[in-house]
Structure 1
């Protein structure tokens, strides 16, 4: 197939593009190479993809309406994996307009492109952050998510609503994936594993919010990639069991699906740090701090629906995933 992957220079996007290329798909990767974090890392991810003859890169912004119209009009894409977004809960407090531009306008441009180009299936990134103030664990896609605690979460919830509208109005098959704290080699430098590793190696103290009592459903990148590709291959269809008198948010009478994609095994932050210390063979100096604005106490993915739909089952224990990251980190920065 000919597949468009937006955010192809990003952490998840580059891994998904690599997996699609390995199985023989033709991939067009799109990214604006923003400076939200070190562009050198993004360019290094792209360099790995560009060794494949099946890969073509386009530097563009999903928020650019004209560029997206031109891309889709001549693209001939069978399917689209939309992973480009302004990420980060904390940054959304500092720079809210970046989230409107990338996550709302950008997603609308992708929906319009898919609609007019007759794309067979759009798979897009949502986030576990949409669960917001929900306290019932594990988080289920059938639960209401009407109480976001960050603008980032609100934009991702908006994406789900926009996707449903297009599925209903234009019969565009769409599937949303709520990602749960993805980690692993080539990861994002603004995330905990990267930050903690760098500071522990430098002998600097690490900031540990909520005194390390957070619990996160850390999910290894290879497991995530496998789930994304399996979902892309299963085109969303209307649910024959959907009941408008008791509507389930995860399904619809339209070709619309919504899934959690996580490890289904939350880990306490202090235990996560302990696994990093073990892999590095160094102890962390911890600066214990209270909860941050926009943060939540725990995340825990109910992944039964995705398992039933595509056979998704995470396979990577946290200790193994962290050890692989540490090996990559040392090799990358030594190089």
Structure 2
């Protein structure tokens, strides 16, 4: 974009330039629950309305939106960078290996943004939309709700390389998982609770093949009947899908942890949380199996904490008018 002319000091500042001037605004220091109370008081109702409609039509949209928020926050903070398309001048996090052919729900975000632009033009950031939509996704499938802190801005860039490096991997063991979460200020309890997001959704065989065939670090601590059943799933190919929680795959509850105790965690990174009664997180996992309220409380608190992961210092920020491209 060409720089604005400086020949007239009385000329109104264009809307786009005004948005770009938000680049110096901190993205996490001033988050508040009531951030839009005056500028867009209906924001939560609009997000909830669109989410309810889309999830009613397709329940798989709930885990999809929750996953989008995770994959956004773990790459350069909660800045909606995961929503940006590639351009001739910049890459896209959508093209990173952990995200290829696995991220969905972009059309839901676009629908929410379109409604909000009509109601409150150039006001609500795409990153705040993701934070609200992920909360509603959980609640719509029977999980907890929480007060979402708002006031994030959207980044003007994305990093495919950072997404390749920074996202936890399906084959990660406990040490790598703990390090990945600690990097963002999330402790072991946060990690164990946030992993409970896998109580909804599905995974492709390519991401659990090593576990059910007992390869490398995935060998051991797996129920043999479960392993055989999932090997049959993989006979249909690497893209064959299996539920992350085999008991209640579309209900947000604590059944995921019961699967772990039974040696039925689908991914290596899931089962890594439970060491058969000898691991550092085993007591916490066992508590979640019997105390659904404790899991719900810890999950909600960890989501708020994750939602405060800031972008790197100096990153250019704005409120995007369209979520898949910069202004």
TM-score of Structure 1 vs Structure 2, range by shorter chain: under 0.3
* Larger strand fraction of residues: 1
TM-score normalised to structure 1 length: 0.25
TM-score normalised to structure 2 length: 0.25
Higher relative contact order (CA 8 A, sep 6+): 2
Q: Which structure would you say has the larger Rg?
A: 2
